[in-house]
Amino acid sequence: RLYPPVGSPGTRQRYKAEFGQELRRYKELCAHMDGLNERLAQLAAQLDQVPEDSAQYQALAEEYNHLKDVKRSPEYQDKKRESKTLRNKLFHIKRMVSDYDKL
């Protein structure tokens, strides 16, 4: 509803400007979440290679469990929802501008 089909060059420019702003935020959110997931994958691989009774294993496991807790936190879940909403919004804006450009 907020982004009906584009009917004028001015509206197209406004949509493009908003797309740029929202894309920056979307990329920030994705970078944060991707970094967390990459670190979890690294820790999981390291945990597989270290003896379970070692101090190093314990330290790695603590960090791993902490990051898993972060992923379950309300703040992380909010960021995840925001990124999904932004993704849908970006696709919609892009489609509206593309449809206008085809005319």
- The correct answer on CATH 2.30.30 for the domain covering 9-97 is no
Q: Taking the domains of the chain in order of start, what are their residue ranges?
A: 9-97
Can you give the pLDDT at residue 2?
Answer: 81
Sign of the alpha-carbon torsion through 76, 77, 80, 81: negative
pTM, 2 dp: 0.82
- 2 sits in which H/E element: none
Question: Is pLDDT at 1 greater than 80 in this prediction?
Answer: no
Query: What pLDDT is stored for residue 80 in this prediction?
Result: 97
Give φ, ψ of 10 to 5 degrees: -65, -45
pLDDT digits (tens, 9 = 90+) for 59-102: 999 999 999 999 999 999 999 999 999 999 999 999 999 999 99
Per-residue pLDDT of 35-59, as tens digits, reads 999 999 999 999 999 999 999 999 9
